[in-house]
Structure 1
Amino acid sequence: MRSRPGLSHSSWDKLFKKGEFMSSAQLCPISKFEKLLIATDRSEFSEGAVREAVDAETLEKIRNIVKGYNGVEEVTALHARNSGSFIFVHLDIRLFIKKLKAAHELAHDIEGVIRKEVPFIERVSIHYEPVKKDYRRHAVPLADREGLISEHFGSAPFIGIWDIRVSGPEMSSHEIIENPFMNLDKGKGIKLAELLIEREIDILYTKEAFEGKGPQYVLSGAEIELRNTELLTLNDLIESGKEAGRQEK
């Protein structure tokens, strides 16, 4: 019969060394993004409080399960405590996912895997929030490196990408990348749409209509905003965005 996860004798020795409490962060180093919080008042330190602590191996296993999901950007807090023969876990995580339904489904999946993979888990609660960005990333298909906006999407040889700060109309970065899918016979638009999702694009400008086409479903599924433009060049588009930002302020 498996014993309940808890502190080993060596961990007890560390905890009581020189009469001082050693934090679980010292026993189990964690990344700078994570916090391991155990509610223990040093002035009221007791044997019962130590029994509530969860061993480092169990915490690390929970942490690795969560970080193994592609949609998880970081674990901001991990709380875990023993109560009788069971463990209660609370997680705060940040997700790359924008859609509320998809985020809820991911959190539910994480909860199920933790309960399946870690013994004695009684309850897992997860608080999730999207990654907060201080900029919005824009993209537009280009016909050349000089910035002429392409009439097409999937077959455009280049893509212009630039970031505009949320706090103002200033541009924080700007690049032109090649479209590696332009010569494909089929599916070039969908492949390019998937690439833009990987590049975390927020707004895509095009001259080509997407209604009812594959790229529309891929991009809308990732909550990328689609905007039509009649402007001729990338510089025109960037400047018009800056002007709109100034008017909004």
Structure 2
Amino acid sequence: MQEESAKIPDRKHEDSIVRRVAWYSLIVNTMLVAVKLYLSWVSGSLALEADAIHSFIDVLASVALIAGIWLSGLKSSNYPYGLYKIENLVSVIIALLVFLTAWEILTEALSGGDTAVAFSGWVLFAVAALVSVPYLLGTYEVKMGKRYNSPGLIADGKQHRVDVLSTSVVFFALFAQYFGIPVDSIAAVIVALFIAYSGWEILKDSMRTLLDASIDYDTRDVIKSAILSDPMVTGIKTLTARNSGRFIFVEATVNMKRSDFSGAHIASERIESKIRELVPNVERTVIHYEPKERLHLRYAVPINGPEGEICSHFGEAPYFTVLEFNLKDAKLMRKETISNPASMMERQKGIRSAEFLLTCKPDIIYSKQPLTGKSAEYVFESAGILVKITNADTTAELITEIKADLTAGMTESDNDEKTQAE
């Protein structure tokens, strides 16, 4: 509950920033329309008038963006997953407006764009100054959109950067007409094709989200690593994640060591927190857990050196030996000795050693001394790892002890099955 309450103010803060950037876009676009209409009236340029209409389309897109961002934050019982995809619908609208812009430029270029008009030289400087405005605005919107994962801002920003091309076409058309060189129609056709391609990219990304396509591979790999890093997880059965607006929904079915509800529930909450820590804008994470039949057991024991002498002090052990046994025949499958990086620390050797061992995912920890009341015990307990006391002095003796325990367990299991059969 504390995590959810902390997330709400952050979400409101992010929404306010996204809305503020969208308002910046609306104000700048409105000013561009006014300036371009004035310049077209002063110069009598049809190209400038068409560009002003293009900027007016941007105004409509900005209004749609603000409305989409506002609506996407609303929730109701009829829409339990929120209205986040409205932002993607807005992106589709913006993409269609980009197509309309491309068609507008293409039509203008093929229907008398080379008609000479009389205008003063200062108009060229004014139009040249306007070229940088949509580029700066678009770059800022794309940057903020990526930071806060807003598809609407990203789409609007990309469209503004495309506006640089259309305004550049107007400038070169005016420049050519000023010197009597009619080349603006050919350039306009080329730019219209680039604009249409940009619209297709925006439309494609938005439709992927609307159709619940999976998230990108890099983000999925981060989520997968976060799940597998938990000491109780033995594998991932299914993993799906999708974008909805600027938020991500994650659902996974994982295999865990323990089948008891409380331990698995704690582990799932730990996994959810880890995913939110590594991946921004995760709205909901659902972890389904189920036990998996164990074929192997993994043991870990602190040792003094590669020769295998078991260390009496858990946190000060310079090495750990990891042993993996097959449960069907009590056979040792793997033996590995690893250095303990926490043994060189001045403080918290016990808890840091325990946290390091979690990366090896042991099922049982052997120790010469009880860990009762120590920080290492709490780490192992929360991860569902059993701690046992051993009187063995070397790993060779411990291996014999483990084999005897596993063999005895298999004998008891066989006897139970025979009793049930009788």
The partner residue of 2:227 within 49, 69, 72 is: 72
CA offsets 1:192-235 (integer angstroms, 9 cap, x no match): 10110011111110012211111111121111110001111101
Q: Secondary structure at the match of 1:68?
A: helix
Partner residue, 2:345? 184
Map 1:80-119 to 2 at 5 A: 91-94=251-254, 99-105=263-269
- Please give the root-mean-square deviation of Cα atoms over the aligned residues, in Å: 4.1
CA distance in 2, matches of 1:109, 1:144: 37
Partner residue, 2:409? 248
Q: Which protein shows a greater Rg?
A: 2
CA offsets 1:58-93 (integer angstroms, 9 cap, x no match): 42228876653354244626499xxxxxxxx89442
Identity %: 22
Q: TM (normalized to structure 2)?
A: 0.38
The offset of 1:180, in angstroms, is 1.9
Letter in 1 for 2:227: V
Distance 1:163 1:108, change over 3 A: closer
Map 1:155-170 to 2 at 5 A: 155-170=316-331
1:202 has 2:363 as partner: yes
CA distance in 1, matches of 2:299, 2:275: 35
1:61 has 2:215 as partner: yes
The partner residue of 2:391 within 225, 230, 235 is: 230
The question of whether the paired residues in 1 share the 8 Å contact of 2:268 and 2:287 is answered with: no
The question of whether the paired residues in 2 share the 8 Å contact of 1:162 and 1:174 is answered with: yes
Partner residue, 2:333? 172
Distance 1:207 1:112, change over 3 A: closer
Distance 1:187 1:126, change over 3 A: closer
Identify the structure with bigger relative contact order (alpha carbons < 8 Å, sequence gap 6+): 1
Higher helix proportion, which one? Answer: 2
Higher strand proportion, which one? Answer: 1
Distance 1:131 1:62, change over 3 A: farther
Q: Secondary structure at the match of 2:298?
A: strand
Distance 1:245 1:90, change over 3 A: same
CA distance in 2, matches of 1:239, 1:139: 14
1:137 has 2:291 as partner: no
Q: Secondary structure at the match of 1:72?
A: helix
The question of whether the paired residues in 2 share the 8 Å contact of 1:111 and 1:126 is answered with: no
The offset of 1:144, in angstroms, is 2.2
Letter in 1 for 2:253: I
Q: Secondary structure at the match of 2:305?
A: coil
| Runs of at least 5 residues in structure 1 that lack an aligned partner in the other structure | 7-53, 81-88
| Runs of at least 5 residues in structure 2 that lack an aligned partner in the other structure | 1-63, 65-86, 93-206, 229-235, 243-248, 411-422
